[in-house]
Amino acid sequence: MEKKFFDIGKEKLAYLDIGSNKEVLVLIHGNMSSGIHFKPVIEKLQKQFRIIAPDLRGFGDSTYNNEYNDLEELADDVLVLLDGLDIHEYVIAGWSTGGAVALKIAAKRNQEVKKVILIESCSYKGYPIFKKDEAGQPIVGSYYASKAELALDPIQVASMDNIFKTGATAYMKAVWDQLIYTVNKPVKEDDDLYLAETMKERCIVDVDYALTRFNMSDVHNGVTMGDGSIKDVVCPVLSFWSESDIVVLEYMVDETVEALYDCKKIKLANSGHSPLVDCPDVLVKHIQEFIK
C-alpha cells in the first residue's frame, strides 16, 4: 500500500500502483476517502490485475494547489496520470462520488475504457444538496445559488468542513459509523487507517459544490444544465446498489442505469454505502464475473 507520486502540472497526484498484469483496473474513491479505502478489493484482485488507485486532488496525499468547481476537473487529473503512465486500455470502477468521476472519464475516453463499475454511485444528474429549514431538514427543490452559500449549509457542508479543519477524528468516526458503516464495521486496524486517510481531505466545499453541478443528462438538474455526455458512455456498465445504503438512494442509481446504453444493476443485501467493508467477497465475485 505504498503510494507513488506523479506530477500532473499544477498538482501532484498520489496513487497506488499494485500488481503487474497487463489488464488494468482503475479505482476512483469517493468523498471523505482516498485510494486506500479500496484496500479490501485491492487485496483480492491484485494478482489478477494491475491496479491504479489515485487520491483525487485535495484528498489523501495528493496536492490541493487549485480549487475546483466541477468533477470533470478531477476526471481530467486522472486522465493526465493515466496518460503519463502510458495506460490507454482499462476497466474503471468508482465508488460513490468516484462513480461520477468514472462516468465522466468513460464519456471522454470511450475508446480506452473497456468497462465501467459503479459502486453506490451518485446519479448521472449529480447529488442534490438542498437548503435547510429552521429544524435542519432539507427543503426539497430549494438549491443553493452559489458555492459561498452552499459552504454555509449547517448540516452537510459547514459542519463537515469544521471537522476537517479542527482535526476532530472522533466526530468523523461517528459520521462514518452512523452513515456509511450501517451493517458492518472495519476491524480496528483498518478503521484507524481509513480514518487517517479521510482526515487528510481539504476540499469538502469544492467536492460538494461539484456534486450539485455534475450533470451528464440533457436536462436541468436544478443547479445546472446537463451536457448530454451520458450518451458517450458506450461500454458495458455494472452498477451496484446496497439495500441499506442511506447516502445514495435507489432512485439515484436507477436513473443512471436507465440512461445508459448497456448497464446491469446488482442489488446487494446486508450492505450499506460501503460494500467494500460490508461484503467485499460478494462484490469482488461480481466484479470478476463482469470483467470476464
In DSSP terms, 238 is beta-bridged to 117, 264
Query: Burial level of 112, CB count in 10 A (0-12/13-18/19+)?
Result: middle
d(CA 245, CA 230): 24
Q: Which pairing describes strands 50-54 and 113-119: parallel, antiparallel, or unpaired?
A: unpaired
State how far the alpha carbon of 179 is from the alpha carbons of 6, 176, 245, 265, 272, in Å: 33, 5, 8, 22, 8
Cβ-count burial 240-271 (b if 16+ within 10 Å, e if not): bbbeebebbeeebbeebbebbeebebeebeeb
Domains of the chain: 4-291 (3.40.50.1820)
Per-residue pLDDT tens digits of the chain, which is 292 residues long:
899 999 999 999 999 999 989 999 999 999 999 999 999 999 999 999 999 999 999 999 999 999 999 999 999 999 999 999 999 999 999 999 999 999 999 999 999 999 999 999 999 999 999 999 999 999 999 999 999 999 999 999 999 999 999 999 999 999 999 999 999 999 999 999 999 999 999 999 999 999 999 999 999 999 999 999 999 999 999 999 999 999 999 999 999 999 999 999 999 999 999 999 999 999 999 999 999 8
Determine the Cα angle at 235 with ends 229 and 236, to 5°: 120
d(CA 152, CA 117): 33
State how far the alpha carbon of 208 is from the alpha carbons of 30, 161, 191, in Å: 11, 11, 24
Q: What's the pLDDT at 223?
A: 97
Is there a contact between 17 and 4 (Cβ–Cβ < 8 Å)?
A: yes
What sign does the dihedral 168-198-274-215 (CA atoms) show? Answer: positive
Is there a contact between 37 and 112 (Cβ–Cβ < 8 Å)?
A: no
State how far the alpha carbon of 237 is from the alpha carbons of 44, 148, 254, in Å: 21, 35, 13
